[in-house]
């Protein structure tokens, strides 16, 4: 008799996570080794996958004037940031905390852009002191505050306005940001007026135009709907003597979670430069702020099956990771592939993969056919972006550890929280 190994499942577009002899590996490290040694839930990232994703941008850019500012809210672990800093990335930050992280890994301030709809004065001061490349300003009120803060410090703040071009990014409503009803940006119709205000303020230097229309875009056309409107605006500004040095198209390129076929950086950039040249704006420098597409498929979340529960309507695999570890399914009904680290022969059963948190929204995947047993370890795929970064301590659950694999080596890049960590800082009344 020959051993009846099942055919290893296909992982959705993750060349750095592959089965060898029926065991799932990250690069050259068998993942069950990490799960058993370090415990679960455990986030595992691949250094080669980060480099590979960066390379898709670098090679697409060639000699063209494009600055890639990693949208670091997707995954702000210092080891991830350091890797991108070493590769020459800039950073798109959305808080004073993210500025601190970027500076901690030696990011070049001249490659940092500061986005976000609610910047506070202390955050502006810190970013001005660091001499960041640009503030992406989202309202007239913010322009006034920024000008005041800059004047106090005796400097001028470089600004772009984040324009809301009112285009439908055709993505999940919670990650669509470029429509009129979103809180983000300045409506395209008022942008010219608000630029005039910016020009009149003593503490500001206008340097760019910015937009970010949404996330997990799998179609390229919304970018071009936005681009034409932004180029019209840049022409109008030019007429008034307001010269724009760079155009920031934000982030948003999607990744493959299951069967999506998102556009490549090459496809995006080729068409953007074609349009810039066709419209006589070839001198513009471009800024991109990709987050998900640089890290999303560079990570998996390992979780152990605690119980199998066969209810009348459903079968449940209750695992040790939960919505506090990976919120995307609860928040966006997001799809993540789930695969066993060691596939078993035998009949597959349809399971909902759920966590121990006391919420019906606490699920990681639904109706997945798996042959699994209690104690098996599963890999939740595509967990490099908006995963650990959104983790919380709900239900007084310690946040997972994070590991970066590098060839046959691995490094713990964030220790598992302890329960003492969770109680620290709290006190009771005397």
Ligand X SMILES: *Cc1c(COP(=O)(O)O)cnc(C)c1O
* Structure letter (DSSP) for residue 349: E
- Residue 131 contacts residue 110 (beta carbons within 8 Å): yes
Query: What angle do helix axes 265-278 and 221-239 make, rounded to 10 degrees?
Result: 30
Q: How many angstroms separate the Cα of 335 from the Cα of each of 82, 194, 238, 316?
A: 29, 40, 45, 17
123 scored as a contact of ligand X (CB under 6 A): no
Site string for ligand X, 215-254 (x = CB under 6 A): x----------------------------------xxx--
71 scored as a contact of ligand X (CB under 6 A): yes
- Residue 211 falls in the annotated catalytic set: no
* Residue whose CB is less far from ligand X, 158 or 251: 251
- Interface with ligand X by CB under 6 A: which range of 12-20, 221-229, 283-291, 368-376? 283-291
Considering the candidates 69, 134, 211, 358, report the single residue annotated as catalytic.
358
Torsion sign across C-alpha atoms 171, 172, 176, 180:
positive
Least distance (Å) from ligand X to the CB of residue 321? 22
Question: How far is 80 from 234, CA to CA, in rounded Å?
Answer: 35
Question: How far is 357 from 210, CA to CA, in rounded Å?
Answer: 40
252 is in an annotated binding site: yes
351 is in an annotated binding site: no
Number of residues forming the site for ligand X (CB under 6 A): 15
In Å, the largest CA–CA distance within the chain is: 83
298 scored as a contact of ligand X (CB under 6 A): no
Least distance (Å) from ligand X to the CB of residue 242? 22
* Residue whose CB is less far from ligand X, 257 or 351: 257
Question: How far is 11 from 29, CA to CA, in rounded Å?
Answer: 17
Q: Which of 90, 203, 208, 291 binds ligand X (CB under 6 A)?
A: 291
> Following DSSP, what letter does each residue of 15-62 receive, concatenated?
TTEEEETTEEEETTEEHHHHHHHH-SSEEEEEHHHHHHHHHHHHHHHT
Site string for ligand X, 72-111 (x = CB under 6 A): -xx-----------------x-------------------
* Residue whose CB is less far from ligand X, 291 or 329: 291
Q: 363-370 and 349-354 as β-strands: parallel, antiparallel, unpaired? A: antiparallel
- Residue 336 contacts residue 380 (beta carbons within 8 Å): yes
355 is in an annotated binding site: no
332 is in an annotated binding site: yes
Q: How many angstroms separate the Cα of 270 from the Cα of each of 54, 217, 274?
A: 17, 17, 6
Least distance (Å) from ligand X to the CB of residue 119? 12
70 is in an annotated binding site: no
* Residue whose CB is less far from ligand X, 72 or 317: 72
Interface positions with ligand X (CB under 6 A): 71, 73-74, 92, 115, 212, 215, 250-252, 289-293
Catalytic residues: 358
Annotated binding-site residues for substrate read 292, 328, 332, 359, 386
Annotated binding-site residues read 252, 289-292, 328, 332, 359, 386
């Amino acid at each position: 008799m020959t051993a009846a190994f099942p055919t290893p499942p296909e992982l959705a577009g993750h060349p750095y996570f592959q089965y060898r002899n029926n065991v799932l590996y990250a690069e050259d490290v068998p993942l069950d080794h990490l799960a058993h040694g370090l415990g679960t839930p455990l986030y595992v990232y691949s250094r080669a996958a980060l480099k590979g994703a960066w390379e898709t941008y670098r090679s697409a850019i060639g000699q063209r004037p494009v600055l890639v500012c990693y949208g670091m809210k997707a995954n702000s672990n210092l080891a991830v940031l350091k890797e991108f800093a070493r590769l020459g990335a800039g950073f798109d930050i959305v808080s004073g905390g993210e500025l601190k992280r970027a500076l901690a890994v030696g990011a070049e301030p001249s490659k940092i852009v500061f986005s976000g709809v609610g910047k506070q004065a202390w955050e502006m001061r810190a970013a001005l002191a660091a001499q960041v490349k640009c503030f992406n300003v989202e309202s007239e009120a913010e322009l006034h505050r920024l000008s005041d803060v800059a004047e106090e410090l005796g400097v001028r703040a470089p600004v772009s306005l984040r324009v809301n071009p009112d285009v439908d990014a055709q993505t999940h409503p919670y990650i669509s940001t470029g429509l009129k009803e979103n809180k983000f940006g300045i409506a395209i119709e008022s942008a010219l007026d608000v630029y005039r205000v910016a020009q009149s303020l003593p503490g500001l230097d206008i340097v760019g135009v910015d937009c970010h229309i949404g996330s997990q875009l799998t179609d390229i056309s919304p970018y071009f709907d936005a681009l034409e409107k932004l180029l019209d605006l840049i022409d109008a500004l030019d007429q008034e003597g307001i010269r724009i040095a760079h155009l920031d198209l934000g982030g948003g390129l999607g990744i493959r979670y299951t069967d999506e076929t998102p556009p490549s950086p090459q496809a995006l950039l080729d068409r953007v430069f074609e349009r810039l040249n066709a419209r006589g704006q070839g001198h513009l420098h471009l800024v991109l702020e990709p987050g998900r597409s640089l890290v999303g498929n560079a990570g998996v979340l390992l979780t152990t099956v605690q119980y199998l529960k066969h209810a009348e309507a459903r079968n449940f695999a209750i695992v040790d990771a939960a919505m506090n570890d990976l919120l995307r399914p609860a928040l966006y009904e997001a799809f993540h592939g789930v695969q066993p680290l060691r596939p078993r022969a035998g009949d597959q059963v349809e399971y909902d993969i759920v966590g121990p948190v006391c919420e019906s929204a606490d699920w990681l995947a639904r109706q997945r056919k798996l042959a699994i047993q209690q104690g098996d370890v599963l890999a939740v795929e595509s967990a490099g972006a908006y995963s650990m970064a959104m983790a919380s301590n709900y239900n007084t659950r310690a946040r997972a550890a994070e590991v970066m694999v590098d060839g046959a080596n691995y490094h713990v890049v964030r220790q598992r929280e302890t329960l003492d960590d969770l109680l620290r800082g709290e006190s009771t009344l005397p």
